[in-house]
Structure 1
Amino acid sequence: MDVLKKLESTERSLLIAEKRKRLDLVIGVPHHAPAGTPTLPCPEHSDSDENTGIIGRHLAERLDSCSIIACNSTIDVNKHLDSDYSKQIIEWNPNILVEIHGHGKVRSKYDVEISCGSAEQSVYSEELAAIVNRITKRNPDLFDISVCGRFSDIYFKATKTLTITDPRWLAYHIELSSRLRKPGNEQLGYPTALGYKFCDCLADALKGKYP
Structure 2
Amino acid sequence: MDVNSILESTEPSRLIIETRKRDDIVVGVPHHAPAGTPHLPCAEHSDSDENTGFVGRYLADRLDCCSVIAGNYTIDANKHLHSDYTMQIVKWRPRVLVEIHGHGKVRSKYDVEISCGSATFSTYSEDLATAVNCRRAADADLADVSVCGRFADIYFKATKTLTITDARWLAYHIELSPLLRKPQKGQTGRPTALAYRFFDHLAAALNEKHG
Tell me whether the two structures share a fold, i.e. TM-score over 0.5: yes
Q: How does 1:168-183 map to 2 (within 5 A)?
A: 168-183=168-183
Q: Look up the SS of the partner of 1:54 in the other structure.
A: helix
Question: Which amino acid in the other structure matches residue 27 of structure 1?
Answer: V
Cα distance, 1:185 vs structure 2: 2.9
Question: Distance in 2 between the 1:130 and 1:118 partners?
Answer: 18
Q: Match of 2:18? A: 18
Question: Distance in 2 between the 1:70 and 1:42 partners?
Answer: 12
Q: Match of 2:113? A: 113
Question: Distance in 2 between the 1:74 and 1:89 partners?
Answer: 19
Q: Look up the SS of the partner of 2:11 in the other structure.
A: coil
Q: TM-score, normalised by structure 2?
A: 0.99
Q: Match of 1:196? A: 196
Question: Distance in 1 between the 2:177 and 2:184 partners?
Answer: 12
Q: Match of 1:97? A: 97
Residue 210 of structure 1 pairs with residue 181 of structure 2: no
User: Which runs of 5 or more residues in structure 2 are unaligned?
Assistant: none
Question: Distance in 2 between the 1:36 and 1:147 partners?
Answer: 25
Question: Which amino acid in the other structure matches residue 127 of structure 2?
Answer: E
Aligned-residue RMSD, C-alpha: 0.6
1:102-161 deviations in Å (ceiling 9; x for gaps) = 001000000000000000010100000000000100100000110000000000000000
Q: How does 1:69-108 map to 2 (within 5 A)?
A: 69-108=69-108
Q: How does 1:136-151 map to 2 (within 5 A)?
A: 136-151=136-151
Question: Distance in 1 between the 2:155 and 2:168 partners?
Answer: 25
Question: Which amino acid in the other structure matches residue 140 of structure 1?
Answer: A
Residue 6 of structure 1 pairs with residue 2 of structure 2: no
1:65-116 deviations in Å (ceiling 9; x for gaps) = 0000000000000000100000000000000000000001000000000000
Question: Which amino acid in the other structure matches residue 206 of structure 2?
Answer: L
Cα distance, 1:194 vs structure 2: 1.0
Cα distance, 1:186 vs structure 2: 4.3
Identity %: 71
Question: Distance in 2 between the 1:107 and 1:203 partners?
Answer: 26
Q: Look up the SS of the partner of 1:171 in the other structure.
A: strand
Q: Look up the SS of the partner of 2:46 in the other structure.
A: coil
Q: Look up the SS of the partner of 2:97 in the other structure.
A: strand
Q: Match of 1:50? A: 50
Q: Match of 1:123? A: 123
Q: Look up the SS of the partner of 2:203 in the other structure.
A: helix
Q: Which runs of 4+ in 1 moved over 3 A?
A: none
Question: Distance in 2 between the 1:86 and 1:185 partners?
Answer: 32
Question: Distance in 2 between the 1:187 and 1:38 partners?
Answer: 12
Residue 30 of structure 1 pairs with residue 30 of structure 2: yes
Question: Distance in 1 between the 2:185 and 2:171 partners?
Answer: 33
Question: Distance in 2 between the 1:45 and 1:132 partners?
Answer: 29
